[in-house]
Structure 1
């Protein structure tokens, strides 16, 4: 059958369903980017199915519907969050145009009601580096939208994901295309950066006054003491976010492991024993709350940052009671499924690498580095030096870059690792160039 479309997308107009399972051949049907579809079946009234007519071309389209009587207090049952997804081989660092047609029969939504994502990863919630959004009111006519995007330097495939959410009513999807064509229009922050040399620094800043920094930290310490609960615990998450009643909530781990790092640095400079005392008390609290499976707080973020804080406490004190718990974090690192979220993976990876370097035991973590735990971050770094979606936030950007720097230092100083170290250097240079280009004057 000839559709007149590029052959990059298999079965782009959903005409073929050889096994009659109701899912177009070449596509998978499941939970969407943000979806809860089929996770709580009794609450999911939305349905997606292959139907004959109406169609933008051929005879078939995908119909996605949520009953109109599903309004009022149960409106959120329309959050079907379903997707139709296909992985398409694409070339690295290449311009493509994706497009899709939607007929909105009578769907109402909170904002956008249909999406076409281009994603560089196969995890359900992978960050999209290009998104087409449909938000127009029902017209009874097919609406086509297209978007030009560029693949990453290291991407060899693109995941196209048709998605809906927050819908009440019925809409139809047809004619999904991906073609190697289009004129790419890049903003100033989207321009590719070099991976081989650092950009010249645009701004210069006065060196902070040492005495002023010490004075400021002293003031922060005094404020922190007012929130200290003893035994290495400080304020709750509610207090951190400025919500009332936080003093009655459990202490937040972030308030502990970040203080451990700050107090260790302050002690190194000032020698004040109270700073070392608070750092070691905080580290002891982290070891007390560690679970048997090695997790400290959550599986990625807190386990990673707490693990690094414990390594730094061991380096300052020489006490193995701070080093040995990180071996359990490494055990968790070697078993947990990689997250779709690069910075989660990188925080946990940095802790494992810090332990491996401290104990000269790279072999214990090397196999895991060949998986998506590391490879997705390397592969999905964008040509402008950062990562897509919320990972572009500078704090998460720095978390990714910090782990890559830790790996650069942890790799054995042997010839077989020279190429890997050189490649990491290229990724770090690109990440630094993103920061240099976006830095603004004080």
Structure 2
């Protein structure tokens, strides 16, 4: 509770110090009394805001930075924004990619830029994992011609400014707080990014003229405790096993409401365990590689009664193809000035590989590629939001997007290991 709560709403009821002098003094005017206590309250408020470390409980969250710390705006900044978002092919599109310095965001941005589309990135570079990896991705994007604006998707003023500078035709919304297990440590970061951040973006998009078509990252985690396999888009998604999954499911419901009320064209993509070069260090394949090379034991989870834990590992290049196909088939939004003019497209697709692989087999493949025997520590699957298996039914994406994954796990891991060995041989340190 703030110390402001200790100040009564009726200042005249404060009891003055009991002294002979005070008893003899009488206020001659109620106006004078009101003025005096108004000044006291105003002073207290000023002291609270200027001397308190923070007035927000979220500011202590180390995974985020204050919106006011970002530097943006000005003629040179606007010039860079326009140049990056300029379409260079005849039928190209102009795309705002949020989370551009993230794993999927980097690959999607590069692919769009290389085919001649206009691309502008947005990322807040939080410290959920190694920031130097994000900065190196940013450098890669800069070399490709993609400018990444440093900012937060909850900064509505920044988002509005970006849409004023560039009339984006599409938004690829990949910014999110990722990770199933971290939600138990920092739940507010998931609400801030995956719920509030999505709403902030959609609020700006609904009022943009023209409204962009939006493709955004949901997750295979929405299938939660569903036991029917393979997972289909028509299956139940009302039993999330983690807060992360719940925020992604909530995002799908929010997308439905903005589509229904404002005519925004929205496509949700349920990614299935994406892996590959420039990946996320918190993913099993990544830290397994690191720990195997360092001679550390790695946890191999098994379900009840020694049940197999398996994942539908999907290589990054296949995911990128699905993302670009979603953008290319997205219909225009139908709203104008924040008002819906007609029905708008609303879709959701699974993007997976359709071939679940036991985690123990993943380790065996890494052992062969690294030529090092792993120290396996068999453990029970913890109750932290992890599920026993994932398996994608991609028939809808095949039919509507022409989506067809082509990279199996041994081939994809070989490419990842090659990148990993090269990246960390350049004097960079893998997190301990």
- Length-normalised TM-score, structure 2: 0.26
Which protein is richer in strand relative to its size? 1
- Length-normalised TM-score, structure 1: 0.26
